[in-house]
Structure 1
């Protein structure tokens, strides 16, 4: 079922106010990247933005919708099947030790 909201009571947006090279006040809305104005003062810039935003949302309908998404409760780790594969293998242990030495793990205190 789709329902619509026919009227906004309040809409909170975040404004960024800054001064331009020429001393003008530049104001922009973070949530609406194309909504930028320049005016003589911060107050004028804010008023202009409020008017623009009110105009943009005058004929807008907001409709909530529900979407059902199925997700796996727990994903299986693809590496799980390899855990312990080389446990007790002396040749693999020797290769691993050699790699640790080559990469300086001893100096970093990362070896057993």
Structure 2
């Protein structure tokens, strides 16, 4: 597994955006919760005040922490169907089986064609 960690100097870090859950509390206050960090919350008398307190709380938290981007390459795995590829290449009955499937498919296609023709004929008489 290959792992890459991207870090940014403090003055060039990209602007971060967060999804915030706003909830009116039974006591009339408003709670703002950072969805990606549920323990990071702000409580206020208004939505704006709750968001401001949440922002202050997050800023305080980020002063002693840092955010890095983690890129992980997925493990290289074999397609599970590959173990079946070519398993009948030496089967002497393989061509016969393919011919049977083709004949059956042609018969089913013919049945469907007759069915649709019958439906069209019925719709024309109505």
Name the TM-score, length of structure 2 as normaliser: 0.51
Given that residues 19 and 34 in structure 2 are in contact (C-alpha distance below 8 angstroms), is that contact kept between their aligned partners in structure 1?
A: yes
Give ranges in structure 2 of 5+ residues lacking alignment: 88-126
Alignment partner of 1:51 is 2:56: yes
For 1:21 and 1:2, the matched residues in 2 are separated by 43
Give ranges in structure 1 of 5+ residues lacking alignment: 82-112
Q: Decide which structure has the larger Cα Rg and report it.
A: 2
Task: Count how many residue pairs are aligned between Structure 1 and Structure 2.
Answer: 81
- Counting strand residues as a fraction of each chain, which structure ranks higher? 2
Given that residues 6 and 61 in structure 1 are in contact (C-alpha distance below 8 angstroms), is that contact kept between their aligned partners in structure 2?
A: no
Alignment partner of 1:6 is 2:12: no
Name the TM-score, length of structure 1 as normaliser: 0.56
1:9–1:2 CA distance, 2 compared to 1 (3 A): closer
